[in-house]
A and B are shown apart, each in its own frame.
Chain A
Amino acid sequence: MTLTGNQVSAIVGAQWRAWINKGPSSGWAMWLVYLVWYGFAATLAWLAATILPGIKEPARLAQTVELALLAGLIYWQFIPLMLASAGMALDLKRLLVYPVESSTLFLIEVALRLSTGMEVAIVLSGVAVGLWNRPDVPWWGPLGFIPYMAFNMFLSAGIRDLLARLMAKRGVRELVVFGLVTVSALPQLLLMMFPPEKWQRQQVFGFLDRIPTLPLPWTVTARTALGDGIWWAAPLVFVWLAAGLWFGYRQFIKGLSWDNQGTPKPAKPEPQIPGRAAGWMEQVYRLPSWLMGDPLGMLVEKELRFLSRAPRFRLVFLMGFSFGLIIWFPLAFREGRQGGMMAENFLVWVSLYATLMLGDVLFWNCFGFDRQAVQAYFVVPVKFSTVLIAKNLAAAFFLLLEVTLVALVCSLFRISVTPGKVVEAFAVSLLVSLMLLAVGNLMSVRYPRPSDPSSSWRNSSGGKTQFLLLVAYPVIGVPVALAYLARYAFGTDLSFYLALGCGYVVAGITYWVSMESAVEYAMREQESTIAALSSSEGPFAG
């Protein structure tokens, strides 16, 4: 083994040991989640392998393969960004101290991009098998998918590194999110302009036919895969590959400095003007202490200050209402659907979406962010239930703020917002959040995991956590679903609010029981909680 190979195997081996040592928390549940998710990708691959040999028209086949490749690129490059998640990456801060060639680190980083697009690789394998089953496709054609996948991995690594650097800068981060929101809105706007109900198969393919065949990565790869225009398409596949490599490597090299690793810079001192009252933000922070006595007031105040200064929280808060509005608006209000259920309940819908978005930073792992403070919670003379209630009150505050912002934006754009709908949105969101807090408190103490508040990217949650969330979300939605069912069955708002009231009673009892249980567990397992929150990962960062 070469020395560089030894380093690579040391990094991969250390990460593997770290996963093994992490213990059973990421055991069977993780594999179950993976099985379901990758099983879905495998089904798509099987469909592609089955359908492609049956397509008769060569032009249709080319368009289908192009669309599959384009969809793969979009999934690989944009879906992680939309989820503010970047998959696995090297923890460069820990590895840069060693004498490792940057090209070696880059290769591992690129290989790790598979973690964000394994589904694409599986589906493309199905497409390749489908093409191999056609007699008119040369055997070497689908091999063109290999450089295409490598191109995607280079591009993905480059985009991740570029965004990681941009997201580390306050102000720029918000602009980037705004840009992502705008880009994500484009397909929705297109859907509004060209509603799918009016699509006709021939028209769609006719439209695609009119698009000039530009030498884009997916078009040249599709041509190569089909053995069509091989003399110009195949070299272009490698040109794109080289361009992807250049972009990815360049961005990676730019990130190879602790200056770009979120190293704290000297803070600018805030101007203090003697005699002048504190600013309005300061007044908001101090409000809990004014309304509630200490220690609860002080704890809530600390949470408000801490969360509003955490880049990760700010990003998710911003995405919560902006993405919600933009993604759901065209679906709810596209032509012919103004009177639809989604349009009628748009505000409630977006508020719920925002509530669920905030789950990762407010409910499920409420000690993950301020893990350094956890030890203090166990030593200060304050009941642990008070700490949890303070965290829950701060979460409720931000949730109400989020719903208020959604309502304000809806009013501004004159989207069907009546006072009744605003009340309904608050009532439903609060009920859901009460249930989320009940489950979240338990999960926060039972499955605590360290999280970096200064990182804009999401840390990947454990398999068991993901599995429990899959189970928890439908259960949490039951009281709200029953309330809407009551309105549908009896046709009155009274029935809706009565059912919702019952939901509040159930949620209140659930919250109380889970609080007791969470406090009891936290006190019993405080040592393991502190240990779990003070640990960091291996050479790979989540």
Chain B
Amino acid sequence: MNGEAVSAIEIRDLKKVYGGKAAVDGLTLSVGRGSFFGFLGPNGAGKTTTIRMLMGLAAPSAGEIHILGMDMPGQALDIRARIGLVPDDSLLFDHLTGLEFVEFSGRMYKLEKSVARARAAELIALFELDSSKKKIIGQYSKGMRKRVAMAAALIHRPDLFLLDEPFEGVDAVGARLMKDILNEQVRRGATIFLTSHVLEVVERLCERVAIINEGRLVVDAPMAELRSGQETLEDIFVRVVGGVERNAETLDWL
């Protein structure tokens, strides 16, 4: 594979086993360059494990991963340098201010100190976090934390974004801003790999959607194709992962 590969992400027969149980089981997926891709699944389906393997944070038990034409984990550092990650909450440093954290991220992505500092200030202003300049991230609301994580993911102008629930807790104005920025990134050729439980957002933004359940791929289709029927994305999701039927005799107190 070379750097000009058509796919941003190419996964073949990917498997991750924890203690005899497969968290990801034979996943094969292709995400085109410059696309907005939705990666869905119920809780515990294997989404986060997949993202960890894409970042080279967890070693696959079997299978192949190629990102931006490079082999993971063989070229993990080169790949990480071109990825912008909006992770779950746990990767932020709570004792740093937003500006300090975004600058830190820039320098970790090998930007010159002065460049990282200037870009961090611009991003903090863009995400309207500059009014809380002196606040440390530990004092941020959930939405502010997501915004600062997004700012840190953008600072090195990555080619691929891995976004884990980026809109969680973000208010409507912030979410709109984030969506606009992400769409701009797609227009300039970047690829977005998005996981979210807010299916309306996925339906509106993504060109293609994959759904995994119990580690296996159960849907992989263009959004336009999924929309062509009578069902909404939510209907399809509930149908393929199996909804919970409420027994009328139990929980009658509810």
Question: Which residues of the other chain, B, contact A266 by a CB distance below 8 angstroms?
Answer: 18-19, 21, 23, 44
Please, which residue of chain A has its CB at the minimum distance from the CB of B79?
A99
**Is B91 a contact of A94 with CB atoms below 8 Å?**
yes
Whether B57 lies near A98 (C-beta < 8 A) is no
A529 to chain B, nearest CB (A): 13
Q: At the interface, yes or no: A417 with Cβ under 8 Å from chain B?
A: no
Rounded to whole Å, the gap between the CB of A227 and the closest CB of chain B is 45
- Inside 8 A of B93's CB, which chain A residues have their CB? 14, 18, 94, 536-539
Q: Which of these, B57, B78, B94, B113, contacts A535 with CB under 8 Å?
A: B94
- Is B197 among interface residues, defined by CB-CB distance under 8 A? no
Q: Which residues 17-60 in B have Cβ within 8 Å of A in the complex?
A: 18-19, 21, 23, 44, 52, 55-59
Of B78, B80, B95, B136, which one neighbours A97 at CB under 8 angstroms? B80
Interface centre among A101, A531, A536, A539 (most CB of B within 10 A): A536
Contact B57 A96 (CB under 8 A): yes
Report the minimal beta-carbon distance from B115 to chain A, rounded to whole angstroms: 11
Chain B residues positioned under 8 Å from A18 (CB to CB): 93, 95-96
**B21–A93 CB distance below 8 A:** no
Are A535 and B104 within 8 A (Cβ)?
no
> Could you say which of B57, B104, B110, B138 contacts A258, with CB atoms under 8 Å apart?
B57
The verdict on A265 contacting chain B, using a C-beta distance below 8 Å, is: yes
Within 49-78 of B, Cβ neighbours of A (below 8 Å) are at 52, 55-59, 77-78
State whether B95 touches A538 (Cβ < 8 A): yes
Say whether B107 faces chain A, with CB atoms less than 8 Å apart.
yes
B240 lies within 8 A of chain A by Cβ: no
When chains A and B are docked, how far (Å) is the Cα of A263 from the Cα of B139? Answer: 26
| CB <8 Å contact, A259 and B91 | no
- The total of interchain contacts (Cβ-Cβ below 8 angstroms) comes to 103
Instruction: Indicate whether A534 reaches chain B with its CB closer than 8 angstroms.
Output: yes
* A10 and B104 contact, CB distance less than 8 A: yes
Q: Which of B78, B96, B97, B139 meets A531, CB within 8 Å?
A: B139
A531 cross-chain contacts in B, Cβ below 8 A: 138-139
Size range of the chain B interface in the assembly:
35 or more
Q: How far is the CA of A43 from the CA of B83 in the complex (A)?
A: 52
A 246-290 binary contact with B (CB < 8 Å = 1; else 0): 000000000001110001011010000000000000000000000
Contact yes or no, B108 A98, CB < 8 A = yes
Most B-side CB within 10 Å, residue of A6, A10, A257:
A10
CB-defined contacts of B108 to chain A, threshold 8 Å: 7, 10-11, 95, 98-100
Give chain B residues whose Cβ lies under 8 Å from the Cβ of A10. 104, 107-108
Could you tell me if A536 and B52 are in contact, using CB atoms closer than 8 angstroms?
A: no
Query: Nearest Cβ distance between residue B57 and chain A, in whole angstroms?
Result: 4
Asked if A22 lies at the interface with its beta carbon under 8 angstroms from chain B, I say: yes
Residues of A within 8 A of B44 (CB): 266
- A259 touching B100 in the complex, CB below 8 Å, given contacts A97-B80, A97-B91: no
Q: How far is the CB of B138 from the nearest CB of chain A, in Å?
A: 3
Residues of B within 8 A of A265 (CB): 18-19
**Distance to closest chain B CB from A27 (angstroms):** 15
Chain B residues within 8 Å of A14, by CB: 93, 96, 100-101, 104
**How many angstroms from the CA of A539 to the CA of B136 in the assembled complex?**
15
Among A11, A101, A263, the one with the most B-chain Cβ atoms within 10 Å of its Cβ is A263
With A94-B91, A97-B85, A100-B108 already in contact, the answer to whether A21 and B97 are too (CB < 8 A) is yes
CA of A93 to CA of B94, assembled, Å: 14
Query: Would B58 and A263 count as touching, CB distance under 8 A?
Result: yes
Closest-CB distance, B108 to chain A (whole angstroms): 4
Taken residue by residue from 518 to 542, chain A's Cβ proximity to chain B (1 for < 8 Å, 0 otherwise) reads as: 0000000000000100111111000
Is B90 in contact with A99, judged by CB distance below 8 angstroms? no
Q: A14-B96, A257-B59 are in contact. Are A99 and B109 (CB under 8 A)?
A: yes
Q: State the A residues within 8 Å of B (CB).
A: 1, 3, 6-7, 9-11, 13-14, 17-19, 21-22, 93-101, 257-259, 263, 265-266, 268, 531, 534-539
Enumerate 11 A-B pairs (CB-CB under 8 Å) in ascending A order.
Answer: A93-B90, A97-B80, A98-B80, A99-B78, A99-B80, A99-B109, A266-B18, A266-B23, A537-B93, A537-B95, A539-B93
**Those 3 A-B pairs whose CB atoms lie nearest each other, nearest first:** A535-B138, A10-B107, A18-B95
